[in-house]
Amino acid sequence: MKILALTLLFALVLISVSCGSGGDSNEASTGSETDVSSDENRFDPSAGTEKEVAATTGTSAPVGDMGEQRAWFPAVVLDDGRVLVAGGKSPKWAAGAADTAEVYNPNSNVWEWTEAMTDARFQNAMTKLPDGRVIVAGGRSIENRAIDTAEIWDPETGLWTPTLPMNQAHETMPMVSLGDGRVMVIGGADDTYAPVTTVEVYDPATNGWVEIDPMSEKRIWHTATLLSDGRILVTGGGKPDGPWIKTAEIFDPESGLWSSAGEMSVSRAQHSATLLKDGRVLVVGGRGKRMTAEIYDPSNNTWGSKSDLNIPRAEHIEELLPDGRVIVAGGTGSRDNLEIYDPSTNSWAIVGDMLMGRYRFNSALLNDGRILLIGGQALEGILAATEAFSLDIGEEIEATILNVDPSAAAEATPIPTATPMPTPTPDVLTTADLEFKPTIDHDGSSNFHVATEIPVRMGLTQKMNSPTGINGIIVQFTELIEDNRATGGVATVRLELFTPAGPLGGAEMSLESGQKKPSYKKFGKYSVGLLSIEPDPVTTAEDAKVTVVVFLSSLLR
């Protein structure tokens, strides 16, 4: 009964909306690429040496890795308790932009591929609509510039549907779901890397975007938090190397106007903001090795209750716990510990360590109380690794849990256990009509590169890299599984796929007897087409040849 009540209580937690914290949007850089060489990204063991350690602690355990390495990506908790991630920066793709999306099932601890987005993007924003669908917008594309596109993912079908484009390209911006079903995108940088004041609202009724009253300052790497009264608080911002912004402002949906929310005690960017249970907003850390936190009170439009963290943090995550406390984790410099803020004492205490240091990552508070820590950047590179931190339950929290009405638990619907999907779980299509360039024969070399949309005829064990360069997919013909076309059956081969960063996994592809159109399988940004298996039928595996082509998945839409 305690476990069931705990699950119900955690499911009722109000999740704050802030840029770059464990919520529905994400923070990222603009003008330059990564800044891993900066002093702030080097761990400083002298920072916070006198650490406060909480009486309540926790432990972290590994869960299934994502199929994609990701940093600077958004995450959303779905209505059924699963977690959706989409896009992000990955070493596998051009300019780092990934179009792939995955769903984490907390029952099985498995990540499952869902359909890839129409556009590859990182430093993008994402939030949930009232009907349970999820909208993603903006970010940087494979051209490493902000884009104006947005699309909606349907958890019932697993498919993405584009919206009308935004009026301006946005990246590094927060997205807030308003109480009336509309969604607001606030500021960020445009396709020239310039910060903007532009604010746009998406209306599901029209599937379009409308510009509204702009902010008073141009902001990137800022936060946006939906307040209890429906207004939106925006704080700080600024480029990674400064200057950073000290001001805050509030948008009132009723008047459609912005007004000042005063100044924080220090300027902040790459910080986080969380709505507390009493309606105030906790703002934490920021660029410049900020070790401070402070609270905004919307009832009197003032800042106060300044407190010191044990460790400076930026590009970290922050989650509101069911008992009203706030947990933060990681941060620039690949910080590996977690600490909790207690509003009743206005103080911070270390509660445990992650399995590895992370920054530019994301998080999700699961319905079973675990905190999912997802991907991000580590000192050794971008991560696919995921872990779940479990906080020990103290007597006070347990007493709160036991006071939950047990009759309400009957209304809780368990999350269905999904069948784990193979990696990389491609979409299979056999009817698309595409025209490719003339087929060429493999030259027998071990380093055969070819542009996209050029079919290659190759024998067993031979491999091709397409497109040319370090961002392509390597396809190798490894096995003839069967050929029953002589009796009206199918011929099936196995292909192994790689990127320069590592293996993508294997895929079985087939052609039916008499099939004229190619078979296609989609692997995120790129798709692979099987045009022929020769001879027809194959009598000796060593004589088999396949004709394979790599092309952009967008051609299938």
Query: 17-67 pLDDT, tens per residue?
Result: 344 343 333 333 333 333 333 455 444 444 444 567 665 688 999 998 999
The sheet with strand 502-512 has its strands ordered as 463-466, 473-483, 490-499, 502-512
Question: In a 10 Å sphere around its CB, with 0-12 CB exposed, 13-18 middle and 19+ buried, how is residue 497 labelled?
Answer: buried
Cβ contact 60:66 at 8 Å? no
Cβ contact 336:328 at 8 Å? no
CA neighbor of 318 nearest in space, from 361, 288, 354, 289: 361
Residues 254-272 pLDDT 10s? 999 999 999 999 999 999 9
Rounded mean pLDDT for each run of 10 residues along the chain, 557 residues in total: 40 38 36 40 45 74 93 97 97 82 94 94 97 97 95 95 97 94 97 97 96 97 97 95 95 96 98 97 96 97 95 97 96 95 95 96 96 95 95 49 35 35 40 80 88 93 79 86 93 85 75 90 79 94 94 73
Question: In a 10 Å sphere around its CB, with 0-12 CB exposed, 13-18 middle and 19+ buried, how is residue 396 labelled?
Answer: exposed
Cβ contact 103:425 at 8 Å? no
The DSSP code sequence of 7-38 is: HHHHHTPPPP--TTSSSS------SSS--TTS
Domain-located, residue 334: no
Tell me, yes or no, whether 516 and 372 share the same domain.
Answer: no
| The two structure tokens encoding residue 42 | 């080097």
Tell me, yes or no, whether 532 and 440 share the same domain.
Answer: yes
How many domains is the chain partitioned into structurally? 2
Domain residues for the domain of 202 are 2-29+64-255+360-411
The DSSP code sequence of 32-60 is: SS--TTSGGGS--TTTT-S--B-SS-EEE
Domain-located, residue 401: yes
Tell me, yes or no, whether 184 and 127 share the same domain.
Answer: yes
Domain-located, residue 249: yes
Neighbouring C-beta atoms of residue 187, cutoff 10 Å: 27
Tell me, yes or no, whether 394 and 509 share the same domain.
Answer: no
